[in-house]
């Protein structure tokens, strides 16, 4: 292949009377190239098409195409991958071929057939003031305890603005509270919200969705329309699907630390807005487009909605009530056997007498494992941050006298440090083992530290620790000056 400048030189030299040999020598090409250039009758630019070469899988091309075409009628999560096609070719057809060869061949076939390895998002038109909603999951450190929480995302496809709120669950109380927080931040109510599915706000009945009473009342109070995308078709909402991933990558990496989830949620919308940029299609700032979203929204109602679900559980012999199947909340022992009123919100459970008199309030428990608020360990996460509650805490009254006297004598920073040791070890070894290890550590060394408590727990769990060689611990005493004669 020669350049156009070389072709021009070849023809000019021929025009001047040079021989083919002389032209080849002057231009730096072989004589056959000179002959071919002189014989070419059309030097117009040629379309750069790719010539298809015969491939070893071509005999199986119709079979592979039939598998790919058959996938069109199957559930999107049960379609042929390139790996599965390779397996079927090698096991069912006896083809000796590498997986990488099949992958490249299938990729070319998909492109030719208009297929994609991933589901296509519908190119939908969204008007200002409409929204999409979905949940994602991420790890958070809450008062020093790492846990996986859900985060709710409400995105506005017209402007591509998305706002998140973090909650411990995905039930109706959490969904409504997240929506209320976003409504109050933006100062309006979307005209319509499309949800990924009925999880949290209702359940499917045949082709329809029956929403919970709480969500139905919430939607009526704020007067917005809502709908759900088709089952197994979350890809219909490309805007929020992409925003869930984007916010996780840009806000929750590295793992965020929080002491008060409510305060963190109050700051989160502003953090989301700072991520706004130029719209990927419209070429305008997303914040500017979001002004049109806000202008199209309805105003907030005069009175805010109280997001609460009421139940009337009966207290057991110890004055405890059980909610959500496995979570026990203590009240007053004098209320044993009596019917109480439980006000259940996204993050709190408040107990009242049957006459509506306030009894107590607890943090709402989540998860499949049974919990009990009378368990002292349930207060450790809060105490490790807010040590001012130590004197009246259940933890203080549940530990042995000598350990209590030791911790009572500590200044606040040291008390906080030991409570954090107790909190972290409890998560690994449980309450009884942790308290026993702390007491042992205190008796042996006169102090409590993370390494000593961890070692005592390990010894209690597995028996005495045996070393390969005899260890002379006196060396450590000499290093710190213990046992030296003045």
All residues at 6 or more sequence positions from 308 whose CB lies less than 8 Å from its CB, including other chains:
173, 343, 344, 345
Of the candidate ranges 39-48, 112-121, 264-273, 408-417, the one whose mean pLDDT is the lowest = 112-121
Instruction: In whole angstroms, give the CA distance from residue 445 to residue 486.
Output: 22
Q: Please report the pLDDT score of residue 464 as a whole number.
A: 53
Q: Please report the pLDDT score of residue 242 as a whole number.
A: 87
Question: Are 255 and 211 spatial neighbours (Cβ–Cβ below 8 Å)?
Answer: no
What are φ and ψ of residue 482, in 5° steps? -85, 135
Instruction: In whole angstroms, give the CA distance from residue 169 to residue 200.
Output: 9
Phi-psi region of 200 (alpha: psi -120 to 50; beta: other; left: phi over 0): left
Confidence of residue 153 (pLDDT cuts 50, 70, 90): very high
Calculate the average pLDDT of the chain.
Answer: 84
Of the candidate ranges 178-182, 191-195, 348-352, 462-466, the one whose mean pLDDT is the lowest = 462-466
Confidence of residue 120 (pLDDT cuts 50, 70, 90): very low
Is pLDDT of 339 > 70? yes
Q: Please report the pLDDT score of residue 390 as a whole number.
A: 86
How much of the chain, in percent, has pLDDT values that exceed 70? 85
Confidence of residue 341 (pLDDT cuts 50, 70, 90): very high
Q: What does the block give as tokens for 58?
A: 């071509």
Does the predicted TM-score (pTM) go above 0.75? no
DSSP states along 311-332: E--B--TTSEEEETTTEEEE--
Domain boundaries, the chain: 4-39, 58-113, 130-296, 309-366, 376-479
Burial (CB < 10 A; 0-12, 13-18, 19+), residue 384, is buried
Tens digit of each residue's pLDDT (9 = 90 or more) over 277-299: 888 777 889 999 999 999 999 99
Type and span of the H or E element at 349: strand 348-353
Question: Are 72 and 48 spatial neighbours (Cβ–Cβ below 8 Å)?
Answer: no
Q: Please report the pLDDT score of residue 486 as a whole number.
A: 44
Order of strands across the sheet with 371-372? Answer: 320-323, 327-330, 371-372
Average pLDDT over residues 343-358: 92
Burial (CB < 10 A; 0-12, 13-18, 19+), residue 49, is exposed
Instruction: In whole angstroms, give the CA distance from residue 276 to residue 321.
Output: 46
Q: Please report the pLDDT score of residue 467 as a whole number.
A: 46
State the residue for tokens 């954090």: 420
- Name the E strands within 32-160: 130-142, 145-156
Of the candidate ranges 166-170, 286-290, 331-335, the one whose mean pLDDT is the lowest = 331-335
Tens digit of each residue's pLDDT (9 = 90 or more) over 199-221: 678 766 666 678 888 999 999 99
Average pLDDT over residues 21-44: 88
Closest C-alpha to 305, from 182, 220, 195: 220
Average pLDDT over residues 82-107: 90
DSSP states along 397-415: HHS-HHHHHHHHTS-HHHH
State the residue for tokens 């329309």: 225
Could you tell me how many residues make up the chain?
486
Q: Radius of gyration of the chain from Cα atoms?
A: 35
Average pLDDT over residues 254-279: 91
**CATH class of the domain whose range is 130-296:** alpha beta
Within a 13 Å sphere around the CA of 42, how many CA atoms are in the beta-carbon half?
3
Is pLDDT of 326 > 60? yes
Q: Please report the pLDDT score of residue 322 as a whole number.
A: 92
């Amino acid at each position: 292949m020669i350049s156009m400048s070389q072709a021009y030189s070849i023809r000019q030299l021929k025009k001047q009377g040079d021989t083919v040999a002389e032209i080849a020598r002057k231009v730096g090409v072989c004589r056959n190239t000179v002959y071919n250039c002189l014989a070419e009758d059309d030097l117009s630019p040629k379309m750069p098409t790719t010539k298809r070469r015969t491939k070893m899988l071509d005999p199986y091309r119709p079979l592979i195409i039939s598998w790919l075409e058959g996938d069109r009628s199957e559930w999107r999560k049960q379609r042929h991958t390139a790996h599965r096609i390779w397996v079927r070719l090698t096991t069912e057809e006896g083809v000796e071929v590498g997986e990488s060869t099949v992958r490249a061949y299938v990729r070319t076939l998909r492109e030719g057939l208009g297929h994609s390895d991933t589901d296509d998002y519908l190119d939908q038109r969204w008007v200002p003031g409409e929204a999409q909603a979905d949940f994602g999951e991420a790890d958070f450190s809450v008062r020093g305890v790492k846990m996986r929480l859900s985060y709710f995302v409400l995105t506005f496809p017209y402007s591509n603005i998305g706002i998140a709120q973090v909650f411990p669950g995905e039930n109706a109380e959490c969904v409504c509270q997240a929506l209320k927080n976003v409504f109050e931040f933006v100062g309006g109510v979307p005209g319509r919200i499309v949800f990924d599915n009925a999880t949290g706000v209702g359940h499917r009945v045949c082709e329809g969705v029956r929403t919970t009473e709480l969500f139905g009342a919430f939607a009526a109070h704020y007067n917005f329309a809502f709908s759900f995308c088709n089952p197994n078709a979350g890809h219909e909402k490309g805007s929020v699907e992409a925003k869930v991933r984007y916010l996780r990558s840009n806000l929750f990496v590295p793992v965020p630390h929080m002491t008060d989830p409510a305060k963190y949620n109050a700051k989160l919308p502003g953090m989301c807005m700072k991520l706004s940029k130029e719209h990927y299609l419209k070429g305008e700032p997303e914040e500017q487009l979001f002004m049109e979203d806000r202008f199209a929204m309805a105003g907030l109602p005069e009175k805010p909605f109280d997001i609460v679900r009421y139940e009337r559980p009966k207290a057991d012999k110890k004055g405890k009530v059980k909610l959500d199947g496995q979570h026990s909340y203590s009240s007053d022992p004098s209320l044993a056997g009596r019917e109480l009123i439980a006000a259940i919100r996204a993050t709190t459970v408040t107990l009242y007498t049957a006459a509506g008199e306030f009894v107590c309030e607890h943090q709402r428990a989540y998860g499949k494992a049974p919990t009990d608020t009378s368990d002292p360990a349930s207060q450790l996460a809060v105490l490790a941050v807010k040590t001012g509650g130590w004197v009246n805490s259940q933890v203080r009254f549940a530990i042995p006298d000598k350990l209590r006297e030791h911790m009572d004598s500590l200044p606040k920073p040291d008390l906080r440090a030991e409570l954090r040791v107790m909190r972290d070890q409890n998560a690994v070894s449980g309450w009884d083992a942790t308290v026993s290890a702390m007491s042992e550590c205190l008796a042996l060394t006169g102090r409590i530290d993370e390494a000593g408590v961890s070692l005592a727990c390990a010894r209690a769990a597995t028996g005495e620790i045996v070393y390969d060689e005899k260890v002379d611990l006196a060396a450590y005493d000499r290093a710190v000056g213990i046992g030296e004669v003045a």
